[in-house]
């Protein structure tokens, strides 16, 4: 090993051997107070060395020691090391020390579970995971572990994320990238106080990143994506090899061309299926009707099974394979759907997207995708998006799984990012009309009609389509905020489309809708739509406010006043508007009825930290006003 790496090895001050019974450097009293204050855990030392010897061969060595102070950081002591036959993990060693640095546990091979990384039901691949639990019941304790991963594919260089989560301080962490000189690699980093140190070691270039004495980052409600606020380094190889397939990542267009090559000769259909497509679209009058007919055919004649064998993580099985076997993963089902659409003369595009997480940075020329969907560009920018793994999703609706994201539409050298459908607060609608027949004893009959649209209908739509009666009843109990009731009638209707709608009709017999006290009857006119969230006002907000969910909830409630009663007091009209949305409520009396209306709007977006007080005001005002009461009094 050359001198630069000797210096790196010398910096591993915490590692004096994995067989020792004492390591006084793990004494918790040696942690600087600036690092341990308010910490759930402290990274005592972390060394990540990634050596790339060729475009198809690399080794990652990890050495880590973390002191855990409480159960909020116990997850850091549960290791999950994923691997497969092409990227094996070797040389696992681990110890556990008490607060004085005395070893209390030495991990044996029998302590390491080696299991399939899939559930065996809807997934087929050769990936596995080594599981190792280093938790201790006596806080604080320190875990220490090391392992190596051997790479034979180099599309994914390991990022360096020295701060693993909120509430974790870092005493010392270091990442070393030793890259052969004939493999150009660029780096981008953020939130690091120091630039990397670059040295040359023979035929390799070494980039060393270091973070020391870093105080824990606090948790805040509605904080931005971790990658935007924590220190992070992205290594970006311009050349790579994936299961024997070579490619370049000099631009997104170059990567798109690589992905396009993986799709070649995989869209041929059996002649009989081409005939079926022609028959499906023959009666259709519009392109959307054609897309809908084909998408419904795919949903009825295939189902999802994740397949990650060989290069299957990136290359789909052929359309002929899916046609024959009736199953596939997101890649295979998307490719199959594209093939059917193209047979109908529709220009479908294979599209890479990051599901479940909206954060994607175009400046980071590394793959940040984990899912594939299909887009069909139509005139007037009226594109239709298809989630091909779902057997129930309405045509053109992608839902919260992939909405409002940057997605890479694969078109060879013309590949480009586009935005998936955005569902605004006006789209994500819950519109409820309630009629209450109130009796003098406080009991009532409640009839409600609710329209759920776009993202707001997802939960109920899924339960209805999957015919899960038990979970549907459980959902109803959670959504109906009334003390004691019997369900007299319950039904739904579904209207599919790009913004699908579920309409719910229910009738309840409610005991104690109002509370009788002497000559008065107390009731809350907002019967079914209470906001149950309360926010704490931060003394100092550190991060911007990131709201991912946009919605509009409207309620119109009509309550009959029992004979012999009159309204003594009622909530005042309230109107509150700010950058986060608005809350409006009004209560009036007419013709022997209480008329209550309410509209609560929340907008999606990123907002400055100093504006958080306005969000608190909006949310907490809605919480309070949703529980405002009407007081009825017996007429003498």
Assigned token pair, 530: 């209470």
Highest mean pLDDT out of 118-122, 275-279, 358-362: 275-279
Q: How far apart are CA 386 and CA 498, in angstroms?
A: 10
Q: How far apart are CA 519 and CA 562, in angstroms?
A: 13
Q: Average pLDDT for residues 482-488, to the nearest whole number?
A: 88
- Give the C-alpha distances (Å, rounded to integers) separating 168 from 156, 214, 217, 443: 26, 9, 7, 53
Beta strands in 260-313 (DSSP E): 303-304, 306-307
**Do the Cβ atoms of 313 and 271 come closer than 8 Å?**
no
Q: How far apart are CA 186 and CA 233, in angstroms?
A: 11
Does the pLDDT at position 118 exceed 80?
A: no
Q: Which of 74-83, 304-313, 435-444 has the lowest mean pLDDT?
A: 304-313
Does the pLDDT at position 10 exceed 50?
A: no
Assigned token pair, 240: 């790579």
Strand 501-511 and strand 444-453: the pairing is antiparallel
Q: What is the reported pLDDT for 589?
A: 97
Q: How far apart are CA 255 and CA 258, in angstroms?
A: 5
Q: Which of 13-17, 410-414, 434-438, 519-523 has the lowest mean pLDDT?
A: 13-17
* CATH architecture of the domain with range 429-634: Sandwich (2.60)
Does the pLDDT at position 521 exceed 60?
A: yes
Q: What is the reported pLDDT for 1?
A: 34
Q: Average pLDDT for residues 395-401, to the nearest whole number?
A: 96
Q: How far apart are CA 81 and CA 252, in angstroms?
A: 30
Q: What is the reported pLDDT for 120?
A: 47
Q: What is the reported pLDDT for 469?
A: 77
DSSP character at residue 383: -
Percentage of residues of the chain with pLDDT beyond 90: 81
Of the two residues 115 and 448, the one the predictor is more confident about is: 448
Q: What is the reported pLDDT for 126?
A: 61
In 3-state terms the chain splits into helix, strand, coil percentages (rounded to 5) of 20, 40, 40
Q: What is the reported pLDDT for 437?
A: 97
Q: What is the reported pLDDT for 85?
A: 75
CATH number of 3-240: 2.60.40.3140
* Spatial strand order in the sheet of 113-116: 78-83, 128-133, 113-116
Q: What is the reported pLDDT for 308?
A: 57
Of 355, 353, 318, 311, whose CA–CA distance to 338 is shortest?
318
Q: How far apart are CA 170 and CA 46, in angstroms?
A: 9
For the segment 291-331, what is each residue's pLDDT rounded down to a tens digit? 999 999 999 999 988 765 445 568 899 999 999 999 999 99
Q: Where are the domains of the chain?
A: 3-240, 251-419, 429-634
**Do the Cβ atoms of 14 and 25 come closer than 8 Å?**
yes
Does the pLDDT at position 4 exceed 70?
A: no
Of the two residues 86 and 582, the one the predictor is more confident about is: 582
Residue 117: pLDDT band by 50, 70, 90 thresholds?
low
- Give the C-alpha distances (Å, rounded to integers) separating 476 from 129, 279, 513: 38, 42, 17
Residue 59: pLDDT band by 50, 70, 90 thresholds?
very high
Residue 2: pLDDT band by 50, 70, 90 thresholds?
very low
Does the pLDDT at position 144 exceed 70?
A: yes
For the segment 569-623, what is each residue's pLDDT rounded down to a tens digit? 999 999 999 999 999 999 999 999 999 999 999 999 999 999 999 999 999 999 9
Same CATH fold, 429-634 and 3-240?
Answer: no
Does the pLDDT at position 352 exceed 90?
A: yes
Q: How far apart are CA 298 and CA 340, in angstroms?
A: 9
Q: What is the reported pLDDT for 282?
A: 97
Q: What is the reported pLDDT for 568?
A: 96
Residue 179 region, left (φ>0) first, then alpha (ψ -120 to 50), else beta? beta
Q: How far apart are CA 116 and CA 309, in angstroms?
A: 13
Does the pLDDT at position 30 exceed 60?
A: yes
For the segment 89-107, what is each residue's pLDDT rounded down to a tens digit? 999 999 999 999 999 999 9
pTM: 0.90
Percentage of residues of the chain with pLDDT beyond 70: 94
Does the pLDDT at position 380 exceed 80?
A: no
Of 401, 389, 417, 393, whose CA–CA distance to 358 is shortest?
401
Residue 538: pLDDT band by 50, 70, 90 thresholds?
confident
Q: Average pLDDT for residues 145-155, to the nearest whole number?
A: 92
Residue 125: pLDDT band by 50, 70, 90 thresholds?
low
Q: What is the reported pLDDT for 16?
A: 43
| Multiple choice CATH, 251-419, 3.10.620.30, 3.40.50.300, 1.10.1040.10, 3.30.465.10 | 3.10.620.30
Does the pLDDT at position 143 exceed 60?
A: yes
Does the pLDDT at position 529 exceed 70?
A: yes
Residues ≥6 apart with Cβ < 8 Å to 534:
619, 620, 623
Does the pLDDT at position 8 exceed 80?
A: no
């Amino acid at each position: 090993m050359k001198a630069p790496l000797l210096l790196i090895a010398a910096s591993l001050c915490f590692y004096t051997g994995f067989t020792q019974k004492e390591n006084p450097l793990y004494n918790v009293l040696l942690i600087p107070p600036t690092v341990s204050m308010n910490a759930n855990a402290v990274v005592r030392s972390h060394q990540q060395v990634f050596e790339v010897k060729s475009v198809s061969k690399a080794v990652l060595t990890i050495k880590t020691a973390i002191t855990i102070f409480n159960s909020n950081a116990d997850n850091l002591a549960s290791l999950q090391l994923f691997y497969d036959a092409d990227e094996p993990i070797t040389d696992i060693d681990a110890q556990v020390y008490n607060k004085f640095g005395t070893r209390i546990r030495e991990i044996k091979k029998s302590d390491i579970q080696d299991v399939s990384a899939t559930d065996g039901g809807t997934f087929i691949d050769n990936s596995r995971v080594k599981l190792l639990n280093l938790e201790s019941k006596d806080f604080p304790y320190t875990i220490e572990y090391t392992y190596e991963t051997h790479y034979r594919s180099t599309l994914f260089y390991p990022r360096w994320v020295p701060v693993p989560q909120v509430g974790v301080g870092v005493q010392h962490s270091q990442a070393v990238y030793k890259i052969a000189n004939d493999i150009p690699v660029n780096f981008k980093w953020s939130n690091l106080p120091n630039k990397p140190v670059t040295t040359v070691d023979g035929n390799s270039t070494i980039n060393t990143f270091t973070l020391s004495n870093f105080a824990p980052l606090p948790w805040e409600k509605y904080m931005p994506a971790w990658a935007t606020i924590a220190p992070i380094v992205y290594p970006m190889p311009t050349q790579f090899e994936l299961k024997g397939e070579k490619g370049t990542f000099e631009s997104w267009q170059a990567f798109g061309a690589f992905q396009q090559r993986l799709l070649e000769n995989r869209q041929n259909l059996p002649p009989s299926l081409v005939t079926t497509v022609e028959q499906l679209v023959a009666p259709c009058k519009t392109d959307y009707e054609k897309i809908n007919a084909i998408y419904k055919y795919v949903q009825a004649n295939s189902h999802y099974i994740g397949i990650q064998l060989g290069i299957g993580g990136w290359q789909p099985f052929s359309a002929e394979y899916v046609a024959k076997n009736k199953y596939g993963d997101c890649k295979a089902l998307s490719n199959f759907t594209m093939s059917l659409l193209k047979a109908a003369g529709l220009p479908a595009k294979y599209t890479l997207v990051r599901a479940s997480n909206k954060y994607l940075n175009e400046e980071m020329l590394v793959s940040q995708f984990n899912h594939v969907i299909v887009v069909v560009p139509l005139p007037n920018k009226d594109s239709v998006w298809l989630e091909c793994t779902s057997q129930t999703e309405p045509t053109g609706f992608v839902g919260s799984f992939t909405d409002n994201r940057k997605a890479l539409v694969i078109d060879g050298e013309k590949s480009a990012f586009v935005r998936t459908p955005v569902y605004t607060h006006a789209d994500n609608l819950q519109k409820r009309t309630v009629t209450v027949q109130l009796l003098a004893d406080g009991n009532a009959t409640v009839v409600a009609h609710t329209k759920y649209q776009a993202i707001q209908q997802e939960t109920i739509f899924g339960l209805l389509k999957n015919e899960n009666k038990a979970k549907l009843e459980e959902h109803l109990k959670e959504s109906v905020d009334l003390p004691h009731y019997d369900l007299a009638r319950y039904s739904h209707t579904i209207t599919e489309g790009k913004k699908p709608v579920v309409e719910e009709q229910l009738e309840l017999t409610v005991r104690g809708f109002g509370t009788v006290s002497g000559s008065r009857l107390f009731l809350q006119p907002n019967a079914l739509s209470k906001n149950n969230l309360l926010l704490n006002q931060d003394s100092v907000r550190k991060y911007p406010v990131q709201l991912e969910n946009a919605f509009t909830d409207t309620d119109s409630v009509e309550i009959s006043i029992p004979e012999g009663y009159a309204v003594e007091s009622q909530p005042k009209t309230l109107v509150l508007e700010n950058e986060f949305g608005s809350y409006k409520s009004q209560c009036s009396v007419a013709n022997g009825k209480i008329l209550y209306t309410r509209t609560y709007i929340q907008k999606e977006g990123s907002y400055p930290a100093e504006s958080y007080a306005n969000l608190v005001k909006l949310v907490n005002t809605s919480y309070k006003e949703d529980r405002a009461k009407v007081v009825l009094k017996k007429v003498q």
